[in-house]
Amino acid sequence: MAKNQFVKRGLSDLLSENEILDLEKEEVIEIELDKIEPNPFQPRKHFDENSLNELAESIRINGVLQPVIVKKIADGYMLVTGERRCKASQLAGFRTVPAIVRDYNNQYLAELALLENIQREDLTIVEEAQAYQNAIDSLHLTHLELSQKIGKSRSYVSNTLGILSLPEAIIDEINQGNISMGHARALSKLKDVNRIKAIAQMIIEHRLTVRDIESLVRKEKKKNEIKRKPIGEDFTAGLQMTRNQLRDTFDLKEKVKVSSNRIVIAFDSLDDVDEFRKKLTEKLKK
């Protein structure tokens, strides 16, 4: 499939291409849970324990009301949708789960799993960023192409991906809920790892707001820009002019030079220094 054709296909197109018009004709079978492998494209890695336990209790009483969907593979089945139901069924002590087997092709399965799960509201910001990166790598998308597929702005996608550049310790704090999405995005603008860790600790200990961190980040960027600001042509020309004036006024000839953005005067002896000081003092008095 040509890349420009692929980009025009969104999630709704993928679903409609593989839509089952008569669900009642699909066979629901019981499949052993240990024969179902997780979907490698599933971005969600963290599941709310309380919510999972509640679902498990419901399944224990009422059973699994909606079948999961799987794909047949060599050693069993690969889960397409229904990971929470599978996990909760295991917690409830069930050995099997009702499932519908569909023969999805691998390309469609990758696209569906990535693009559908990216848009889940219960993903953490780290899981969302990892899902974006996985989609970009697996489906060979640019930031712009991915943003068009999931209905987000390109800047949102890029800023979210920037979180993955943070140190592992900071990502752990984000996953634990100690650092918010807004904090994480602000921290990802910094380059100094030690500074990132220091500010992250301030967030946790002093409950700094996102606005506080954004202000700190702006100051950091401004400070670094000042350090990196190159010496302009006007400054260099001014040094050269001052050097020439010193040479002419005090008859110093080649003893006055410009070095490392400084004017350097070389003297042969202390007497020469005293002589220069006297001439300078007289000049300043005029």
pLDDT tens digit string along 176-205?
888 888 888 888 888 888 888 888 888 888
The pLDDT of residue 114 is 66
| Residue 167 token pair | 């140190």
* Residue 93 token pair: 């002590």
Helix (H, G, I), strand (E, B) or coil at 129: helix
Q: Is 156 exposed, middle or buried (0-12, 13-18, 19+ CB in 10 A)?
A: middle
**Per-residue pLDDT, 17:** 41
Distance CA 70, CA 63 (A): 18
CA-angle at 251, arms to 246 and 252, nearest 5°: 65
Q: What share of the chain is helix, strand, coil (3-state, %, to 5)?
A: 60, 10, 30
Please tell me which residue in 19, 27, 30, 83 is annotated as part of the active site.
Answer: 83
Q: Which CATH architecture does the domain made up of 19-103 adopt? A: Alpha-Beta Complex (3.90)
Please report the pLDDT score of residue 14 as a whole number.
46
CB 102 within 8 A of CB 71: yes
Q: What pLDDT score was predicted for residue 229? A: 53
User: Is 32 a catalytic site residue?
Assistant: no
What is the structure's pLDDT at 85? Answer: 92
The β-bridge partners of 29 are 99
| pLDDT at 121 (0 to 100) | 60
Cα angle for residues 12, 16, 21 (degrees, 5° grid)? 140
Domain extent listing, the chain: 19-103, 166-229, 233-285
pLDDT at 132: 87
Whether the Cβ atoms of residue 33 and residue 59 lie closer than 8 Å to each other: no
Give pLDDT tens digits along the chain (286 positions): 333 333 444 544 544 444 444 445 578 899 999 999 887 766 566 677 888 899 999 999 999 988 998 988 888 998 888 888 999 999 999 999 999 998 777 667 667 666 666 766 667 888 888 888 888 887 788 999 888 888 889 999 998 999 999 999 999 988 888 888 888 888 888 888 888 888 888 888 888 888 887 787 777 677 666 555 555 566 666 777 777 777 777 777 777 787 777 788 887 888 777 787 888 777 766 6
